[in-house]
């Protein structure tokens, strides 16, 4: 009987772990700055803010439509054009050429309808760098929701509802006016200044390849945020996804430290309870 209780408790815990979403990392805290920090960190500018928040009790679509309950990252800007609310993670995420030609990425965002810029919404950014290269060996690919709406062109994203974005290496192919990523400049390609050309990841990789430095380039950072010149914005992000079709993906689930996802607490506490019962019976 004692052995069967232990086996049952272990089976419950193993069942929970085996059914957890593979490749998911729960982010419970943000570092003070990206530099020297191994995980996600604040990367704000000016009066911008970023935080991890529990959406329980918020009601409406913000709480009830969450992609990964119950938390999310909240990003805000103030009344100054210099404000930017952003979080980022730095590291070696692989060869830029290999990743951009085999990309799987995405995120979910929620834009609150209260700011003067109807086109602003949390964007996804990939930093590309060739360490030790010469010249313009750094830049960011930026996926802006306003350039990726179904009707094409620059269109105000939906407000007050969660939007889920799925991106692959060909997203935005064959159209330079919308769909895909704009580029901040580098590897002999000019800064798009927040607009066209808007290209797919693989199209950008093909252009970058003309610069010999790009052969050594890596993806060195992932970030999500609301950039400068977007005043009085409030946005939320969650389920940031990054990887490749061949190497698999990682999903970042943003949860404040006090929030424990319910499936984990239910299964684990059930298992621990059975173990405790077994111990009481032995005593």
Please name which of 53, 59, 63, 68 lies closest in space to residue 23, comparing C-alpha atoms. 68
| Segment holding 10, helix H or strand E | helix 2-19
Question: What is the model's pLDDT at position 282?
Answer: 40
pLDDT in tens, 98-133: 999 999 999 999 999 987 899 999 999 999 999 877
pLDDT in tens, 66-90: 999 999 999 999 999 999 999 999 9
Cα-based angle 121, 92, 187 (whole degrees, multiple of 5): 70
Task: State the CATH architecture for 29-256.
Answer: Sandwich (2.60)
**65 has pLDDT over 50:** yes
**221 has pLDDT over 70:** yes
Bridge partners, 164 (sequence order): 108
Taking the C-alpha atoms of residue 181 and residue 140, their distance in angstroms, rounded to an integer, is 9
- CA dihedral (258, 61, 141, 233) positive or negative: negative
Higher pLDDT: 175 or 159? It is 159
Taking the C-alpha atoms of residue 49 and residue 213, their distance in angstroms, rounded to an integer, is 35
Is 277 strand, coil or helix?
helix
Question: What is the model's pLDDT at position 280?
Answer: 37
Provide the token pair at 46.
Answer: 């000016």
Q: How would you classify the pairing of strands 103-111 and 162-168?
A: antiparallel
Beta strands (DSSP E) in 46-190 are 49-54, 71-76, 85-90, 103-111, 123-129, 138-143, 162-168, 182-183
Question: What is the model's pLDDT at position 261?
Answer: 52
| Segment holding 41, helix H or strand E | strand 41-42
**Taking residues 209-235, what's their average pLDDT?**
95
Question: What is the model's pLDDT at position 114?
Answer: 84
**Mean of the per-residue pLDDT values of the chain:** 86
Provide the token pair at 67.
Answer: 């992609």
pLDDT in tens, 177-214: 889 999 999 999 999 999 999 999 999 999 999 999 99
ω into 197 cis (within 30 of 0)? yes
pLDDT in tens, 12-28: 223 333 333 349 999 99
**277 has pLDDT over 60:** no
Q: What is the pTM of this model?
A: 0.83
pLDDT in tens, 39-54: 999 999 999 999 999 9
CB 251 within 8 A of CB 241: yes
Question: What is the model's pLDDT at position 134?
Answer: 72
Provide the token pair at 201.
Answer: 């990841």
């Amino acid at each position: 009987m004692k052995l069967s209780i232990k086996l049952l408790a272990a089976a419950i815990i193993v069942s929970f772990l085996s059914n957890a979403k593979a490749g998911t990392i729960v982010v419970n805290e943000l570092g003070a700055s990206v530099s020297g920090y191994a995980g996600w960190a604040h990367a704000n500018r000016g009066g911008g803010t970023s935080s991890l928040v529990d959406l329980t009790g918020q009601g409406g679509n913000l709480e009830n439509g969450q992609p990964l309950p119950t938390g999310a990252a909240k990003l805000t800007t103030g009344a100054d054009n210099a404000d930017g609310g952003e979080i980022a993670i730095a590291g070696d995420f692989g060869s830029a050429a290999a990743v951009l030609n085999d990309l799987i990425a995405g995120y979910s965002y929620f834009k609150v309808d209260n700011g003067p810029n109807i086109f602003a919404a949390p964007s996804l950014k990939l930093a590309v760098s060739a360490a030790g290269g010469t010249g313009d060996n750094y830049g960011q690919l930026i996926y802006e929701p306003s350039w990726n709406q179904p009707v094409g062109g620059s269109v105000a994203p939906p407000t007050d509802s969660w939007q889920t974005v799925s991106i692959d290496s060909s997203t935005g192919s064959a159209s330079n006016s919308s769909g895909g990523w704009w580029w901040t400049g580098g590897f002999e390609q000019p800064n798009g200044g927040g607009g066209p050309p808007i290209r797919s990841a693989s199209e950008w990789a093909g252009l970058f390849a003309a610069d010999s430095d790009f052969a050594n380039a890596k993806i060195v950072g992932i970030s999500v945020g609301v950039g400068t010149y977007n005043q009085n914005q409030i946005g939320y992000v969650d389920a940031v996804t990054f990887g490749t079709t061949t190497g698999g993906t990682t999903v970042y689930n943003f949860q404040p430290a006090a929030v424990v996802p319910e499936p984990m607490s239910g299964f684990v506490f059930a298992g621990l309870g059975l173990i405790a019962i077994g111990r009481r019976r032995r005593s």
